[in-house]
Amino acid sequence: MSAVFEFDEADLAITGGDHSDDDDDDGNHVSTPNGLESGYASENDTAEPTPISADERLYEVPLAEDFISSSVQESKRKHKKACKNDFDVLKVLGRGAYGKVSLCRHVETNRLYAMKVLKKASLFVHAKNAEHTKAEREILEEVRHPFIVQLMYAFQTNDRLYLILQYAMGGELFTQMAAEQMFSENVARFYIAELVLALEHLHSLGIVYRDLKPENCLLDGEGHVLLTDFGLSKQALGPDDKANTICGTAEYMAPEILMEMHYDKSVDWWTLGILMFEMLTGDTPFRANNKKKTLDAIQNKKLNVPYYVTNDGKDLLNRLLRKNPNGRLGSGNDGTKRVKSHRWFRKINWNDLKERKVTPPIIPVVVRFIFWFIKQRLTLLLSY
């Protein structure tokens, strides 16, 4: 299905006034019927926006132009415009401070998608909110990869932005990790390897992800990984470019970010190491009683890998979790190649994996959802 990105409203900047909201968009994550996992975390999981100074309060991002896809701007072909009426909203998957995510059905094709709705008024409370939303839209439009969630449509109304995303029926990887408590190395290897390919693709485009964690790793209906949530990602980094924004989730942040140093894609390999450690042990390696102690441990505590992890697994973890980013596995121009060549991955056929020829170790249970969906459709039909 070809992607269509169109926005129609001329003026998207919100500078003041009363922006009332007809929908009940406040509150926390909403659980789904019968304990069904939504596949999308509540937006409350997003890191808090950086407080802004008085001078920044008048900052505006010209979203009216920025939210029109470059492919649409440059193409002479006529694209069919998408709008809210093209979709039936079936159920709420998650809520957050800036909006909500709902399961929806495309009326014409009957396909299921995740509809992310963002309130413009909330986005413009802080300048960074608008920047993050703009960056996420641009990255999702640019990226096409089997292990990264796809943006299918984007449009807007007077007071909201709509992103129609690929629906991950298998839910969050976090849910599987919580259920299993610990993965075997064979299971962990599959997910880590798919994430290696996703990061490889992002880095080839000059994108540093910066927020790798179980909640941002979704599973499709077959059990393959879909990386999502690019609000904290950094674009347009060349081989020698560095970023300096302090962002991410505390337990997964690399030491150089906490030390307010300039950093590059090496931070993603650190977070991959944290995630791998969590899969194999059931916990992150530097978790402490409070956030301050956790951040201190990340910078100063020596990595302690449990005895039951294989020697190859220990070696990979120690290389990914080196506190010096220049010596970390994955750094440098050939970093990804060296990651993929590590002996812990010796059983991985990278070409077959990328082509989705490798059967996932865990097949998500989606039967309950299918029955629920059929029931909802029958109820609707009988009501006519």
Token digits of residue 356: 């989705």
Sign of CA dihedral 230, 232, 236, 237: negative
CB-based contact 44:28 (threshold 8 Å): yes
Residue 214, helix vs strand vs coil: helix
Residue 217, helix vs strand vs coil: strand
**Number of other residues whose CB lies within 10 A of the CB of residue 223:** 17
Whole-number Å distance between alpha carbons of 234 and 232: 7
The residue written with tokens 């020697």 in the block is: 311
Residues with Cβ within 8 Å of residue 97, at least 6 apart in sequence: 43, 44, 122
Maximum C-alpha span of the chain = 65
Concatenated DSSP letters for 72-84?
Answer: HHH--S--PPP-G
Active-site residue set: 211
Helix (H) or strand (E) holding 119: strand 112-119
Closest CA to 164 of 200, 127, 201, 116: 116
Is 116 within any annotated ligand binding site?
yes
Which residues participate in the annotated binding site for ATP? 116
Per the annotation, where are the binding residues? 116
